[in-house]
Amino acid sequence: MEIRQLKYFLAAVEHGSISKAARSLYVAQPALTKQIHNLEEELGVVLLERLPRGIALTAAGRQFFHSASKIQDDLISAKQQAIQASTGQLGTLTLGLTVLHSLLPIIAEILRRFRREAPKVSVTLNQLISGPQVDRIRAGELDAGFLFYRPLDDPTLSGTLISTEKLMLAVPRDSPWAQNPPRRLADLNGVDMIWFPRGATPMYYDHLMHHFHQAGYTPHVAMEGSDNAAILTLVTAGMGCAILPALARYHAEDSVVFLPLDDLELEMPLELVWNTANTSPVLQRFVEIARATYPSR
């Protein structure tokens, strides 16, 4: 059974005439008649009763007409969906996002714009810190992720800058520093700090340590949190102080005070990162929207 046979059959029924159907399809009448005859032979039933003026459906023809009409509708839908998928308007997108970035206005705006332009794409967000995001992007488990410090020496990863984040000192409100803030990183030497293990996000960790070394500061780690959100929770509980991205203020309670330091000038690049080998049209469309949304690009 061929698709054109269904098309010819449906046209004949629609026009109620073999000759009119042939003219509408710009097909020779004998060729159209032959294809419908071949269809009937393959099915082993008579679909059309030939009348002196036009045609009529047999009982088998009426049943087949309903099924063939649905097949035609499905084919039209399949064609439309294929076109939409090729232009990034249909499909799925799996993204990584850290807890702290979930309230960042620029990310919310990117997602809103993408939703307006590709409403049929299913988007899944996974809350992960930067290190695991990189691993999952490499493995193809994430299409892309919003993260700090993409490994620039890894050709399997591509990225586009979304925003930059400053760092600040987060202290409990009842800490003496809330009233008499330190001015420089070196003032923090010997002070118990809440930190994170290097294995959680090596690039971020190494950048911070390099900057601290240049400023004459070595963190004294008294307690660790698995990510910035966990560290903020410990500061909120009054367990100590920490250096966190300024955006953590969006998540902080009144019991935490954020303080600037004169030599804490390191700006953290937040990028949308994806696997270079991922050629998904949906991903490409999302990247285009992200690039258009970032104001400085």
Question: Would you place residue 285 in the very low, low, confident or very high pLDDT band (cuts 50, 70, 90)?
Answer: very high
Q: Which residue has the higher pLDDT, 219 or 82?
A: 219
Mean local confidence (pLDDT), 70-94: 83
**How many CA atoms lie within 13 Å of 61's alpha carbon, on the beta-carbon side?**
20
Q: Given this model, what pLDDT does residue 61 score? A: 87
**How many CA atoms lie within 13 Å of 250's alpha carbon, on the beta-carbon side?**
12
Give the angle subtended at the CA of 219 by the CAs of 216 and 225, to the nearest 5°.
150
Residue 228 has pLDDT above 80, yes or no: yes
Mean local confidence (pLDDT), 3-19: 90
Structure tokens at 26: 């710009």
Mean local confidence (pLDDT), 213-230: 90
Given the DSSP bridges, would you call strands 242-245 and 157-172 parallel, antiparallel or unpaired?
antiparallel
The candidate with the shortest Cα–Cα distance to 75, out of 89, 67, 13, is: 67
Q: Given this model, what pLDDT does residue 295 score? A: 60
123-141 residue pLDDT tens = 999 998 888 999 999 999 9
Q: Given this model, what pLDDT does residue 197 score? A: 86
How far apart are the C-alpha atoms of 91 and 67, rounded to whole Å? 28
List CB contacts of 232: < 8 A, sequence separation 6 or more: 100, 170, 225, 242, 244, 248, 251, 252, 256
Rg (CA), the chain: 32
Element (H, E) at 271: strand 267-275
153-193 residue pLDDT tens = 899 999 999 988 899 999 999 988 888 899 999 999 988 89
pTM of this structure: 0.70
SS3 sequence of 79-108: HHHHHHHHCCCEEEEEEEECCHHHHCHHHH
Question: Would you place residue 296 in the very low, low, confident or very high pLDDT band (cuts 50, 70, 90)?
Answer: low
Structure tokens at 216: 């004459």
Q: Which range, of 1-5, 210-214, 279-283, averages the lowest pLDDT? A: 1-5
Structure tokens at 161: 């800058």
**How many CA atoms lie within 13 Å of 279's alpha carbon, on the beta-carbon side?**
2
Q: Is 244 exposed, middle or buried (0-12, 13-18, 19+ CB in 10 A)?
A: buried
Q: Given this model, what pLDDT does residue 51 score? A: 87
Question: Would you place residue 279 in the very low, low, confident or very high pLDDT band (cuts 50, 70, 90)?
Answer: very high
Phi-psi region of 91 (alpha: psi -120 to 50; beta: other; left: phi over 0): left
116-126 residue pLDDT tens = 999 999 999 99
Residue with tokens 């090596």: 202
Structure tokens at 105: 């206005």
Q: For a pLDDT cut of 90, what percent of the chain falls above it?
A: 57
How far apart are the C-alpha atoms of 231 and 201, rounded to whole Å? 14
